[in-house]
């Protein structure tokens, strides 16, 4: 089996541009790099992270050293310049996004419409739901751009308010409607009933400890038409 390169990164100065670059890694590694302060560059045929503009060489060295320590602390293999090497392994704490991702796990485990509605409530609650907080964060970011000073900043602020007022509002409205339909439905999911871990006296499988039925069969894909069939129909 070929070795995956997603857990390997390289952090060093580019010999041509002189920029401090981090290459390799998966989405988790990219999140760590960005939380450390790196800027992501994503193109059609390549992606990497670079240090922010206008940092001093000492600031870039501290940035790279911190990134090396953080990445190695969670199991990544990092090749780097000697001056960026470190034995530091900072503690890793769950990011805010992890709590949102946990909702997906709850939905995958939901056995009835009430459980699914409970999860959607966390997204759509009007006062303290995730989407309400997201919309508020966009508004606060727009306020930040209002007073930032560049000529393009008012446009950016307006764009952020548009995203909150239009796109987030539509998503919130649709999900809230879906949540209400689920709350009124009171139905178990036919493929996810809770397992009682009991078998009847008539169970033919002597080693079975679960009486749940097998998963539903996937419908077979239709057979492709015979070669030349399209030509014959002309």
DSSP 127-159: TTSHHHHHHHHHHHHHHHHHTT-STTHHHHHHH
First to last CA, the chain: 48
Q: What is the pLDDT of residue 6?
A: 87
Domain boundaries, given as residue ranges, for the chain: 8-84, 96-185
CATH architecture observed for domain 8-84:
2-Layer Sandwich (3.30)
Q: Running DSSP on this structure, what letter comes out for residue 231?
A: H
Residue 208's pLDDT is what? 75
Query: Is the model's pTM score more than 0.85?
Result: no
Cα 215 to Cα 234: distance, rounded to the nearest angstrom: 43
At residue 63, the pLDDT reads 98
In the structure encoding, which two tokens stand for residue 88, read together?
């530091």
Residue 175 has what pLDDT?
97
SS3 state of residue 23:
strand
Q: What pLDDT, on the 0 to 100 scale, is given for residue 4?
A: 53
Check residue 1 and give its pLDDT.
Answer: 36
pLDDT tens, per residue, the chain with 234 residues:
344 568 999 999 999 999 999 999 999 999 999 999 999 999 998 999 999 999 999 999 999 999 999 999 999 999 999 999 999 999 988 888 888 999 999 999 999 999 999 999 999 999 999 999 999 999 999 999 998 999 999 999 999 999 999 999 999 999 999 999 999 999 999 887 766 677 777 777 777 777 666 666 666 666 666 665 555 554
DSSP string, 43-72: -SS-EEEEPPTT--HHHHHHHHHHHHHHHH
Predicted local confidence at residue 66, as pLDDT:
98
């Amino acid at each position: 089996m070929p070795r995956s390169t997603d857990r390997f990164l390289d952090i060093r100065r580019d010999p041509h541009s002189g920029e401090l670059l981090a290459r390799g890694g998966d989405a988790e590694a990219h999140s760590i790099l960005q939380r450390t302060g790196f800027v992501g560059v994503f193109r059609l045929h390549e992606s990497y992270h670079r240090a922010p503009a206008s940092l001093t060489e000492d600031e870039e060295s501290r940035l790279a050293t911190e990134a090396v320590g953080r990445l190695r602390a969670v199991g990544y293999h990092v090749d780097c310049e000697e001056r960026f090497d470190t034995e530091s392994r900072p503690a890793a704490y769950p990011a805010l996004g992890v709590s949102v991702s946990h909702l997906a796990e709850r939905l995958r485990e939901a056995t009835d419409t009430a459980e699914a509605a409970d999860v959607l409530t966390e997204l759509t609650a009007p006062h303290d739901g995730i989407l309400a907080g997201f919309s508020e964060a966009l508004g606060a970011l727009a306020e930040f751009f209002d007073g930032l000073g560049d000529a393009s900043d008012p446009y950016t602020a307006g764009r952020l308010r548009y995203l909150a007022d239009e796109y987030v509002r539509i998503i919130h409205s649709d999900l809230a409607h879906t949540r209400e339909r689920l709350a009124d439905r009171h139905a178990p999911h036919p493929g996810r009933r809770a397992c009682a871990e009991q078998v009847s006296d008539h169970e033919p499988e002597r080693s079975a400890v679960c009486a749940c039925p097998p998963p539903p069969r996937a419908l077979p894909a239709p057979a492709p038409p015979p070669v030349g069939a399209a030509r014959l129909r002309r």
